[in-house]
Amino acid sequence: MSTACSILIPAHNEVGYIEPCLEALLASDATGAAVEVIVMANGCTDRTVQAARSFAGRFTSKGWPLTVLDLERGGKMGALNAGDRIARHGARIYVDADVVVSGSLLAELAAVLDNLAPRYASGNPVVRASGSAFTRFYARFWASLPFCTHGVPGFGVFAVNHAARGRWGEFPDIISDDTFVRLSFTPEERFRVAASYDWPMIKAAWPLIRVRRRQDIGVAEVKEQFPALWANHDPLPKDALPMWRRALRDPVGFAAFALVALGVRLPHRGQERWARGR
């Protein structure tokens, strides 16, 4: 069984990333139901819109119509809301423009969403690090954290069925959309499918600090503005290794992780609300 899905992709200056993202969607298995793809290009000053629209014919041939919105104003939440307003199907799969899905991910998500009860779902993230040894060390340790190895983290890709999408109206003007949506559901309502997706780690130490700081602010923002949602936060798994044991297993990775954590706490100037470091 499966359910009809709208795939929504917010994109801001994503040339070089949107192409492999869309190629992977084209190569995805059929879901057994209707699918549409919507790219919400917002505030783009590069050729993201043209690059995305060049895929229209191939998506039509697949039977998955592609719509590309050219939005003048930047901002991820505004882009998500614009996509939601025109989406035709009740089930929604939200995909970051720099993510590459595996061939079976969409079909597995659609199958899980085919339920009358509210369901949130994601896949198994594969953290890809390139460009510097520091990034690789940091990513290796970060991927060992319980947040990544247990539960349904949902960064980069998350999906909800029609009943679940009714949990909120428009996306609020906050930083962390994935945290907000994930915590809108209890752990029992969250499902992690076996299929994977590639999620790129930001390159180099300073960009990692910048983005990690933004992520921390985003989580704190959800806790402050939506305190009731925090009750749905995953507890620490009983089988999770304590930090000191993970540090002993990977001292170099831990050193990189600790350096970024320290850098986040240093004095800094303000930054844009959608900071990616690339």
272 found inside a domain = no
The strand order across the sheet containing 157-160 reads: 66-71, 35-42, 5-11, 91-95, 157-160, 120-128, 190-200, 100-101
| Calculated CA dihedral for residues 109, 114, 117, 120, nearest 10 degrees | 10
131 residue type, one letter: G
Asked whether residue 175 is assigned to any structural domain, the reply reads yes
pLDDT at 273 exceeding the cut of 90: no
Residue 270 lies in a domain: no
Which residue segment(s) compose the domain that 229 sits in? 5-264
d(CA 83, CA 39): 8
> What pLDDT sits at residue 269?
64
Q: What's the DSSP call for residue 17?
A: T
Q: Is 15 inside any structural domain?
A: yes
Confidence band (pLDDT; 50, 70, 90) for 1?
A: low
* Mean pLDDT on 105-118: 97
User: Are 218 and 174 within 8 A, CB to CB?
Assistant: yes
Classify residue 232: in a domain, yes or no: yes
pLDDT higher than 70, residue 271: no
The amino acid present at 259, given as its one-letter code, is: L
The answer on pLDDT for 274 being more than 50 is no
Mean pLDDT, rounded, for 196-215:
90
Tokens (6 digits) for 173 = 């003007």
Tokens of 121: 């779902």
Mean pLDDT calculated for residue range 222-236: 92
CA atoms of 64 and 9, how far apart (whole Å): 14
Q: Six-digit token pair at 40?
A: 């919400």
* Position 274 in a domain: no
Say what angle helices 205-225 and 133-142 make with each other, to 10 degrees.
30
pLDDT in tens, 25-81: 999 999 999 999 999 999 999 999 999 999 999 999 999 999 999 999 889 999 999
Q: What is the end-to-end Cα distance of the chain in Å, rounded?
A: 40
Model confidence band, residue 121 (pLDDT cutoffs 50, 70, 90): very high
In a domain, residue 109? The reply is: yes
CB 116, CB 91: distance < 8 Å: no
277 domain residue, yes or no: no
Q: Compute the residue count for the chain.
A: 278
Mean pLDDT over 97-114 rounds to 97
CB-based contact 90:165 (threshold 8 Å): yes
Q: What is the share, in percent, of the chain residues with pLDDT greater than 90?
A: 80
Q: Is the pTM of this model over 0.75?
A: yes
Query: How many Cβ atoms are within 10 Å of 23's Cβ, its own excluded?
Result: 13
Give the residue among 27, 24, 31, 23 at the shortest CA–CA distance from 6.
31
Domain at 252, CATH number: 3.90.550.10
Average pLDDT of the residues in 72-100: 96
Domains contained in the chain, number? 1
